Structure 1
Amino acid sequence: MIEELLEPGTAAVESFGDEPGAVAELHPEEARLVATAEEGRRREFATVRRCARTALATLGADPGPVLRDPKGAPVWPAGFTGAMTHCQGYRAAVVATSAEVAALGIDAEPNLPLSNPGVAALVTVDEERAWLPGLRARRPEIHWERLVFSAKESVYKVWYPLTGRWLDFQDAVITVDPAWSTFRARLLVPAPVVAAGVRLDSLTGSYLVRDGLIVTAITVGRRRGTRT
């Protein structure tokens, strides 16, 4: 599913549930990260780590532990970049060589309304609220506020490895092209530079709505800037 949104050369592995035995396969360093978590969280964590190690192995990386930095972002082996996501009924990891890809962002969410109107107000900005009613009327089977949330999660997963800084939901404006299942995120804060002369004032990505899920993805190429 997720591979439909990614470039050739990017390795993706997904699972539609927690995999038996994944907890037992955790490296000791990984296991310590969830030692006090409840069992469901440990299984989820272990399954997405298994996805990550399997994806890394397809690109020739050593299948070592995938740990996290002080802000919770995954720490990838030298020479690689990637992203992970999990929600109810879905776990996935994508990786690529950092020589080819500057950053990856993926996110999966249930195709359901956000928990309450207050959450939608925190996630969206005025420009997005202007187009959301029209898309809700045309395509009511998609929960568009949730898609905006997912797109911004993918934006953050690209932004943070490039800058090391927090990005708020209010710091990007999403526009959607439903004809092509793509979205654009216009950044409202100073943009990172990924190559000589390539400043990412905006990011483009793709989305997929299927089997009760909304999945979004962004790939930032090392040489050509953002691509989908």
Structure 2
Amino acid sequence: MQTTHATFLLAGQTVHRITFEPATFTEADLLWLPHHHQLSDAGRKRKADHLAGRIAAFHALNRQAIPGIGSSGEPLWPAGVRGSLSHSGTQAVAICRDNGLVGIDCEAIIAENEAREIQDGVIDPAEARLLAECGLPFALAFTLVFSAKESLFKALFPQVQAWMGFECARVTSLTADALTLMLTRPLPPFTQNQVFTAHWLRKDATVVTLICDE
């Protein structure tokens, strides 16, 4: 599969980005993955997306390891490493740190009509008011909230070890480069009303959000 590797900074952290061409993917490409047998029943798109994400993670790990697949589908990072990865469309991103929380997500900006259709499953009335007043186009603001919650749940999962729905967190502020999220319920060891910051940037028609400890 044809790929291009690049890096960019977000919240002072180095993010590794892979741009890939799904049409160039072949089954033989998967043999590069030690866990390729776990993808034997996956569709072509999932295989290409997964491979791109692992290539991004490989670069984030200084080309020393490839994360496997956990029992809940999460990436298995090497001991002593906190990492996160995401893919959307024809790009994948990954980031690694030595410690602390880390969660990253990339999303193609959701079309406004689609965002309106699914908003009740993602945001509550208070968030809807926030989005209406934040000054950003609704499609962009909604995608940022969607993505920031995904980043938060990825950051918390290693400790929570449970599925988290969009209703578990509420976005309480949205600025030109960050969102503030608050937990609406306890997610042990994290407490109800605990607050987190998601940094974001836009790259063409895609947004990237990042949760990490300061």
- Decide: shared fold, TM above 0.5: yes
- Among 185, 192, 198, the alignment partner of 1:189 is 185
Shift of 1:191: 4.9
Shift of 1:13: 1.4
Q: Aligned pair in 2 of structure 1 residues 127, 18: CA closer, same or farther (>3 Å)?
A: same
Matched, 1:33 2:38: yes
Instruction: Quote the residue 1:152 is aligned against.
Output: 149
- Among 54, 57, 61, the alignment partner of 2:59 is 54
Matched, 1:208 2:201: yes
**Aligned equivalents of 1:36 and 1:123: distance in 2?**
30
Matched, 1:161 2:154: no
**Aligned equivalents of 1:42 and 1:125: distance in 2?**
34
**1:176-205 deviation digits (Å, cap 9, x = unpaired):** 3324x11111011225558xxx99811111
Shift of 1:150: 0.4
Shift of 1:7: 3.5
**Aligned equivalents of 2:137 and 2:173: distance in 1?**
15
**Aligned equivalents of 2:7 and 2:147: distance in 1?**
13
SS at match of 1:86: strand
Matched, 1:17 2:20: yes
SS at match of 2:101: strand
**Aligned equivalents of 2:142 and 2:7: distance in 1?**
20
- Percent same amino acid at aligned positions? 24
Shift of 1:85: 0.3
1:142 touches 1:209 (CA, 8 Å); kept in 2?
no
**Aligned equivalents of 1:5 and 1:199: distance in 2?**
27
Superposition RMSD in Å: 2.7
- Among 95, 106, 110, the alignment partner of 2:104 is 106
Instruction: Quote the residue 1:69 is aligned against.
Output: 70
Shift of 1:119: 1.5
**1:32-89 deviation digits (Å, cap 9, x = unpaired):** 122122223212211211111121126xxx42x4112221111101110100100012
Q: Aligned pair in 2 of structure 1 residues 106, 200: CA closer, same or farther (>3 Å)?
A: farther
The aligned amino acid for 1:16 is T
SS at match of 1:16: strand
Q: Number of residue pairs matched? A: 205
**Aligned equivalents of 2:138 and 2:45: distance in 1?**
30
1:175 touches 1:184 (CA, 8 Å); kept in 2?
yes
**Aligned equivalents of 2:31 and 2:56: distance in 1?**
12
Higher relative contact order (CA 8 A, sep 6+): 1
SS at match of 1:57: coil
- Structure 2, gaps ≥5 residues long: 1-5
Shift of 1:112: 2.5
**Aligned equivalents of 2:67 and 2:124: distance in 1?**
34
**Aligned equivalents of 1:66 and 1:191: distance in 2?**
25
**Aligned equivalents of 1:141 and 1:199: distance in 2?**
28
2:86 touches 2:106 (CA, 8 Å); kept in 1?
yes
- Structure 1, gaps ≥5 residues long: 221-226
**1:125-150 deviation digits (Å, cap 9, x = unpaired):** 12101111123xx3328521111100
SS at match of 2:37: helix
Q: Aligned pair in 2 of structure 1 residues 40, 154: CA closer, same or farther (>3 Å)?
A: same
**Aligned equivalents of 2:33 and 2:193: distance in 1?**
36
